[in-house]
Amino acid sequence: MYYLYIVECVDKSLYTGIAKDLTKRILEHNESPKGAKYTKNKRPVKLVYYMSFQNRSDATKEEIRVKKLSRNEKLSLIKSFIFDL
C-alpha cells in the first residue's frame, strides 16, 4: 500500500508527498533528518489529507496531479476529506 499525503506546515504552507508507511513518514517530517528539505524549517507539520493506493505508480500519478493544483484547490480537497487514519 502507498499513500499520497498533504501536510500543513507551521507557516500554513502545504507539502504533498507519497509514502509507503504514512505514520513513519510524518514522524520523519517532524523529528528526523530524513524529513523533506522543504519541511525541515517548517516544523511541526500536521497531516491534513491522505489517499491510499495499491501501487507506487498510481500514488505517483496522483501526486503529480495534486502538486499541479492551486493552493485553493488543495484546500478544497482537504476540506472535503473525512479523516480516518
DSSP 8-state secondary structure symbol assigned to residue 69 = S
Per-residue pLDDT of the chain (85 residues; tens, 9 = 90+): 999 999 999 999 999 999 999 999 999 999 988 878 899 999 999 999 999 999 999 999 999 999 999 999 999 999 998 766 5
Copy the grid coordinates of residue 50: 491522505
Q: CA 46 to CA 48: how far, in whole Å? A: 6
pTM over 0.85: yes
Instruction: Please measure the distance between the N-terminal and C-terminal CA atoms of the chain and give it in whole angstroms.
Output: 14
Which domains does the chain carry? 2-79 (3.40.1440.10)
